[in-house]
Amino acid sequence: MSVLSLDQTSRWYGNVVAVNGVSMTVRPGVTGLLGPNGAGKTTLIALMSGFLSPSAGAVTLDGVALWRHTDAYRSIGLVPERELSFGYLTGRQFVLANAELHGLDDPGAATERALEVVEMTEPAARRIGTYSKGMRQRVKLASALVHDPSVLLLDEPFNGVDPRQRLHLMSLLRRMGSDGRTVLFSSHILEEVEQVARQIEVVVSGRHAASGDFGQIRRLMTDRPVQYVVVADDDRRLATALIAEPSVVAVSLRSDGGVDVSVSDFGSFAVRLPLVARRHGIRILELTPTDESLESVFAYLVGGDR
């Protein structure tokens, strides 16, 4: 069990505040660190990997402060955003060097294991200079896994990686999370985070904007109407009936069938919809929430129109 915890952490450079009073706890499983560019994601990862000292507050791993604590790297694996520039080494040599630097008993075996996990055993004999971007990411990941760390930090791991390798990486991360490791990865691409992590931490302009399961976060945003699409056998009559309901704020007919419904109180809507449909003899074919996606949550948090 490894728990990373930030407590009222701030980091400023002169007058610029990069991280502003962030408190979060990263537990075992996959957590997505989400935020627009320049929100402070890399700064947070630098703080959590011991490469930056907090100007205020504390950053701890299992209760021990991380800054200048070189021994902590036994349990932390870091996959930085920067490109691998050891072009003259082969993939195997690079991972092996990492294994040796960790002081492992059997660096060779650990290297082979790590390469197998990322499925890079064959290309490992070629020089890194000849690798594609996705292969470099995988070698970076292998070098971070070689010492079997309980915490894995990845800074924008899917940047510039082609779709097939991205799927591979995503399933890898999910597996790491279900193995019981604490995995944190940062991204500004919502689809990636949606598919890999259920637990998200959102940072906007250095502040911690939201944390938790994004479906639940959506439901917490009660001052915004929830959008649904209802497809019925008679859309117009359903729309007329629904607008009479007190929980419904707006309805509109979609050009390709179905009704867009804006609901202010989805609890009572969930109860009323079947009753309304039965009373008017309308058959409901489909009911889909349209903005429970991470995108709408994110847009809301970032857009600041609250």
Partner 1 sequence: MNRTVARLSAQALFGSRRGIVLMLIPGALLVLSVIVRVLTDAEIGLEVAVGLGFTLALPLVALLAATAVLGPEIDDGSVVYLLSKPVSRHVIAVSKYAAAWAATMVLGALPLLLSGLVLDPSEMGQAVALGVGAAVAGTAYCALFIGLAALTRHAVVIGLLFTLLWEGALGGVFGGVKWVSIGPWGREVASWVSPLVDPVGLGVTYALVATILVTVASVWFTGDRLRSFTLRGDE
Cβ-contact 151, 4 below 8 angstroms: yes
Q: Which is nearer to partner 1, 144 or 277 (CB)?
A: 144
Question: Which of 236, 234, 271, 265 is CA-nearest to residue 248?
Answer: 265
Rounded-to-integer distance, Cα 58 and Cα 79, Å = 22
Q: Which of residues 87-126 bind partner 1 (CB under 8 A)?
A: 88-89, 97-98, 100-103
Distances (CA, A) of 168 to 117, 140, 174, 226: 11, 14, 10, 34
Rounded-to-integer distance, Cα 28 and Cα 83, Å = 27
Q: Which stretch binds partner 1 (CB under 8 A): 69-77, 111-119, 200-208, 233-241?
A: 69-77
DSSP letter, residue 70 = G
Q: Does 42 bind partner 1 (CB under 8 A)?
A: yes
Strand partners, 228: 261, 289
Q: Which stretch binds partner 1 (CB under 8 A): 67-75, 118-126, 215-223, 255-263?
A: 67-75
Q: Does 84 bind partner 1 (CB under 8 A)?
A: yes
**Backbone φ/ψ region at 68: left (φ over 0), alpha (ψ -120 to 50), beta:** left
Cβ-contact 111, 146 below 8 angstroms: yes
Q: Which of residues 139-178 bind partner 1 (CB under 8 A)?
A: 143, 155-156
Q: Does 73 bind partner 1 (CB under 8 A)?
A: yes
Rounded-to-integer distance, Cα 47 and Cα 288, Å = 40
Q: Which stretch binds partner 1 (CB under 8 A): 55-63, 64-72, 231-239, 252-260?
A: 64-72
Out of 14, 16, 64, 85, name the contact with partner 1 by CB under 8 A: 85
Q: Which is nearer to partner 1, 72 or 120 (CB)?
A: 72
Q: Does 49 bind partner 1 (CB under 8 A)?
A: yes
Interface residues toward partner 1, by CB under 8 A: 42, 45-46, 49, 51-52, 68, 70-74, 76, 78, 80-86, 88-89, 97-98, 100-103, 143, 155-156
